[in-house]
Structures are given as structure tokens and as C-alpha cells.
Amino acid sequence: MLALNPGAGTGCNPNVTSANFKDNTFHEDLMECVEFVNPAFLFDVVLTAEGKLHEIVAGNWKTAFFKGCEDLLEISGVPIKEQADVVIASGG
């Protein structure tokens, strides 16, 4: 399991989270798989929460991927002003 720490019984890797590209073993493994294939081009879309087209990203697979991620976080991310003891959130 790519999301688990190495070693039996050590639990989930806390770095394997959405929108985390640094020290995320799951992300690193998937990027390595794509590098093995080495696609010539990526065409992808970024959608709004309503399912409408926000942007098309295309070009070098790695550049376009990170551009799409950056833009998605910009339109759907929630700024956090300060750390809190409790957070109540909903996926929809």
C-alpha cells in the first residue's frame, strides 16, 4: 500500500494527503510511473464545483499537471486565517 509507512503496523504516512506534493510517497510513486511511460503531451481540464469548465491545461505532461493543480487549488481552496482547536468541514 503506497499510503502506508514502511514496516508492518506503523500506520499511514501523514504526508500522503491531497494537494501535498512534497515527501508524499504516493505522489512520488505515481510520478515515477508516468515518467516511465514518458508521455509526449497532456490535455486536461479543470472544472468548477458546479462542473463547469474553468480551464484547459495542455502541453508537457508535468508542467500541465502542476498548472492544473495550482489553478484548482486557487478556485476551490479555502484560506485559513489561523490555526484552530476544532474544524468542522463538509465535502459538499
- CB of 54 closer than 8 Å to CB of 75: yes
Three cell numbers, residue 14: 501523514
Q: pLDDT per position in the chain (92 positions), as tens?
A: 567 666 676 678 788 888 888 988 889 989 999 999 999 999 999 999 899 999 999 999 999 999 999 999 899 888 888 988 998 887 76
Would you state the pLDDT for residue 10? Answer: 67
Three cell numbers, residue 53: 469548465
Please tell me the total count of domains within the chain: 2
User: 46 lies in which domain range?
Assistant: 39-76
Interatomic CA distance for residues 16 and 3, integer angstroms: 6
Same domain, 3 and 34: yes
- CB of 56 closer than 8 Å to CB of 43: yes
- pTM of the model as a whole: 0.73
Same domain, 29 and 43: no
